[in-house]
């Protein structure tokens, strides 16, 4: 079964300048049919239309709150009946939080974990059984350099802890589902120009941040999207449980 006969799901991919949307375009350019799952149904459908017309693949925009099991179930039931089988899942939906630890409320902590960790659990557990039955699957988690260096860029303790949880999730899952033809990897971007970071990257702040990056620039969405697309290919079957850093050398470990 070729990936051109399969669908790649990208969660949280409707944001105009986000990594998710860039990844959805890159996967479609590589021949995947693509499903955009996002809280904003209108934006998800608009993104899907743009992808279908640009790349000539099937694309689906579906409303989904990854933190809500019933919403995930409804979104995937919709795809089961309308889209080719799911061959790849990119767990991109996430929220950041710069709040200092002593100021983080329990509600904020739970929200960060609900989207980044429980959300990934809700959807991953729903799609991997079908991948195992077909003997092929690719799962990629969007973690963060914050998980590895302990915050210090935009993410505080809650965000760093949640993004580190994703790394452990991916590694353990990789061991379990490897025999079924499913690989599970993580990508840990550094400073990428997106809607989340855009406003904060101006003037002196940007100059200081870029000064600490060996390649001399901040990252672009394509830098991350191209790597995720590589990890989702059929040929990339002997890489699993790995974490790929995409940070221009700002964190070398």
Give me the mean pLDDT over the 180-192 stretch: 96
pLDDT band of residue 2 (cuts 50, 70, 90) is confident
Q: How far is CA 205 from CA 100, 211, 213, in A?
A: 19, 10, 13
Q: How far apart are CA 236 and CA 221, in angstroms?
A: 21
Q: How far apart are CA 12 and CA 10, in angstroms?
A: 7
pLDDT band of residue 151 (cuts 50, 70, 90) is confident
Give me the mean pLDDT over the 114-140 stretch: 98
- List 121, 159, 238, 244, catalytic entry: 159
For position 200, what pLDDT does the model report?
A: 56
Q: Is 224 exposed, middle or buried (0-12, 13-18, 19+ CB in 10 A)?
A: buried
With contact defined as beta carbons under 8 Å apart, do 4 and 31 qualify? Answer: yes
CATH assignment of 3-244?
A: 3.40.50.720
How many Å separate Cα 222 from the centre of its chain?
A: 13
For 57, the 3-state DSSP assignment is coil
- Is the confidence at residue 28, as pLDDT, over 60? yes
Q: Which residue has the higher pLDDT, 48 or 194?
A: 48
- Is the confidence at residue 129, as pLDDT, over 70? yes
Indicate the pairing of strand 137-142 with strand 182-189: parallel
For 5, the 3-state DSSP assignment is helix
pTM of the model as a whole: 0.95
For position 5, what pLDDT does the model report?
A: 95
Average pLDDT, the chain: 94
Q: Where are the domains of the chain?
A: 3-244
In percent, the amount of the chain with pLDDT more than 90 equals 83
How many Å separate Cα 193 from the centre of its chain?
A: 15
pLDDT band of residue 6 (cuts 50, 70, 90) is very high
Give me the mean pLDDT over the 166-181 stretch: 98
For position 3, what pLDDT does the model report?
A: 86
Tokens encoding 141: 């988690």
223 has which bridge partners? Answer: none
pLDDT band of residue 119 (cuts 50, 70, 90) is very high
pLDDT digits (tens, 9 = 90+) for 188-236: 999 898 755 555 556 677 777 788 899 999 899 999 999 999 999 999 9
Q: Is 251 exposed, middle or buried (0-12, 13-18, 19+ CB in 10 A)?
A: middle
Q: How far apart are CA 245 and CA 80, in angstroms?
A: 33
For the chain, strand residue ranges (E) read 7-11, 33-38, 59-63, 86-91, 137-142, 182-189, 243-246
Give me the mean pLDDT over the 40-48 stretch: 97
Number of H helices, E strands in the chain: 10, 7
| Neighbouring residues of 187: CB distance < 8 A, sequence distance ≥ 6 | 140, 141, 142, 143, 224, 227, 228, 231, 243, 244, 246
159 counts as catalytic: yes
């Amino acid at each position: 079964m070729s990936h051109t006969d399969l669908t790649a799901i990208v969660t949280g991919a409707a944001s105009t300048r986000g990594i998710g949307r860039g990844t959805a375009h890159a996967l479609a350019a590589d021949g995947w049919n693509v499903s955009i799952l996002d809280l904003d149904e209108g934006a998800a459908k608009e993104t899907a239309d743009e992808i279908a017309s640009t790349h000539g693949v099937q694309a689906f925009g579906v409303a989904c709150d990854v933190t809500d099991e019933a919403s995930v179930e409804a979104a995937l039931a919709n795809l089961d009946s309308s889209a080719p089988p799911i061959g790849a899942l990119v767990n991109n939906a996430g929220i950041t939080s710069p709040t200092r630890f002593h100021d983080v409320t329990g509600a904020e902590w739970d929200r960060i974990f609900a989207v980044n960790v429980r959300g990934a659990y809700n959807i991953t557990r729903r799609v991997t059984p079908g991948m195992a039955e077909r003997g092929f699957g690719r799962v990629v988690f969007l973690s963060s350099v914050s998980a590895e260096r302990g915050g210090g860029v935009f993410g505080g303790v809650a965000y760093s802890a949640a993004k580190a949880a994703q790394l452990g999730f991916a590694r353990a899952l990789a061991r379990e589902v490897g025999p079924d033809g499913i690989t599970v990897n993580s990508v840990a971007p550094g400073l990428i120009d997106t809607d989340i970071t855009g406003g904060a990257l101006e003037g002196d702040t940007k100059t200081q941040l870029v000064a600490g990056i060996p390649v001399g620039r901040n990252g672009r969405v394509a830098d991350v999207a191209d790597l995720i697309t590589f990890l989702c290919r059929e040929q990339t079957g002997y890489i699993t449980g790995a974490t790929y850093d995409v940070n221009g050398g700002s964190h070398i470990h």
